[in-house]
Structure 1
Amino acid sequence: MTKRTSAKYKIDRRMGENIWGRAKSPVNRREYGPGQHGQRRKAKLSDFGIQLRAKQKLKGYYGDLTEKQFRRIYGEAERVKGDTGENLIGLLERRLDAVVYRAKLVPTVFAARQFVNHGHVLVNGKRVNIPSYRVKEGDVIQVREKSKQMALVIEAQASAERDIPDYLEVDGSKLTVTFTRTPTLSDVPYPVVMEPNLVVEFYAKN
């Protein structure tokens, strides 16, 4: 299990954007960066800085993945035929924790990782406790019967903060999700602009 080294809202502050679109994000109140120098005028970013920021934002969005994890996923995206940026998004969205979060079974992507890790999720009827497990088209993901009344599940179901994308078929009464297809960038309901093309440029040069 990946160790989260910083509070999730620190990622928002560092990026200067509400990357999960949450009402509680500190960026909604303070648009400047953290720390004593956060209110200074921002210097113009270099091309490297812009590409690095795009990578950090995408990496942070999926639960602040480690660089090793993210680089491995990128390497897979690069080897698959087609657009590397689109492939990268598709692979990230096929992570089990991402599907659990996207289907509104839990309120945050960090909660999704813990939820999966603690064995509350079944894939095609079998318990899977690996957040990075890669789902396939047609896979059915469901919340374990004993876990359906957990407070965070009920909270997520009642939340109006997020919409469920059309590449997931969700049965809210049974808490089951069918992963119907691998999405492209335009299919994914990111609250902020994600630029995987800049991530590709970053790794191509570094």
Structure 2
Amino acid sequence: MTKRNEAKYKIDRRMGQNIWGRPKSPVNRREYGPGQHGQRRKGKLSDYGIQLRAKQKLKGYYANISEKQFRGIYDEAIRMKGDSGANLIGLLERRLDAVVYRAKFVATPFAARQFINHGHVKVNGRRVNIPSYRCKVGDVIEVKEKSKQLAVVLEAVQLAERDVPDYIDADHSKMTATFARIPHLGDVPYAAQMEPNLVVEYYSR
């Protein structure tokens, strides 16, 4: 198991929140941080600490993407017109792994990254194995024909704890999804509150 995959079991407890809304989240049983000192680490956070936690939570949500990659997305967001926090969320939701997860082709963002890496996904009829691939409005994402009956796909479609958001048109009978529009922050079905404005403050300090 990679270090990145192991992280999903710790991120919830470090944040003290069930950030993916998973029924099996360890936070549901232990509402304190990981490690032998986890129960004692509950001091009041500074402004910097609050901003850092907001950044760690958002970065962790998207399969714990690397700091270099996340910083690159932030740099692009602040160069765009409009609200930088909203731009950041829009860019993150355009990632192919985010779209595959939102379309309920797999159960978690971590599974989406692996699913794409292993070549199970096509975009506009062409195989794409790069999780960070940026989708455009109108792109059609589909599960490869040979992969449609995989257990991970069939189980994910049946998940009751989350729905497909309205900015993605998913057809589970064909295992296709169309990226209909770039979402606003309020459109994104986060299980825990995300604060992209604090992420912008963290990087711009």
TM-score between the two structures when normalised by the length of structure 2: 0.97
Deviations 1:131-151 (A, max 9, x none): 000000000000000000101
Q: Which residue of 1 aligns with 2:195?
A: 195
Q: Equivalences for 1:92-103 in 2 at 5 Å?
A: 92-103=92-103
Give 2:192's aligned amino acid: V
Q: Which runs of 4+ in 1 moved over 4 A?
A: none
Offset at residue 5 of structure 1 (A) = 6.5
What's the Cα RMSD here?
A: 1.2
Partners of 2:33 and 2:41 within 8 A in 1: no
Residue 177 of structure 1: SS of its match in structure 2?
strand
Q: Which runs of 5+ in 1 are unaligned?
A: none
Q: Which residue of 1 aligns with 2:149?
A: 149
Q: Which residue of 1 aligns with 2:131?
A: 131
Give the count of matched residue pairs. Answer: 204
% identical aligned pairs: 76
The answer to whether residue 131 in structure 2 is matched with residue 112 in structure 1 is no
Give 1:144's aligned amino acid: K
**CA distance 1:34–1:3, change in 2 (3 Å):** closer
The answer to whether residue 161 in structure 2 is matched with residue 161 in structure 1 is yes
Q: Which residue of 2 aligns with 1:65?
A: 65
Give 2:153's aligned amino acid: V
Residue 65 of structure 2: SS of its match in structure 1?
coil
Partners of 2:5 and 2:110 within 8 A in 1: no
Partners of 2:97 and 2:112 within 8 A in 1: yes
**CA distance 1:143–1:194, change in 2 (3 Å):** same
Offset at residue 192 of structure 1 (A) = 0.3
Partners of 1:3 and 1:27 in 2: CA distance: 20
Q: Which residue of 1 aligns with 2:181?
A: 181
Offset at residue 6 of structure 1 (A) = 3.6
Residue 19 of structure 2: SS of its match in structure 1?
coil
Give 2:23's aligned amino acid: A
Partners of 1:170 and 1:53 in 2: CA distance: 33
Partners of 1:67 and 1:46 in 2: CA distance: 22
Offset at residue 7 of structure 1 (A) = 3.0
Q: Which residue of 1 aligns with 2:24?
A: 24
Give 1:200's aligned amino acid: V
Partners of 1:3 and 1:132 in 2: CA distance: 19
Offset at residue 48 of structure 1 (A) = 0.0
TM-score between the two structures when normalised by the length of structure 1: 0.97
The answer to whether residue 50 in structure 2 is matched with residue 50 in structure 1 is yes
Residue 177 of structure 2: SS of its match in structure 1?
strand
Partners of 2:48 and 2:28 in 1: CA distance: 27
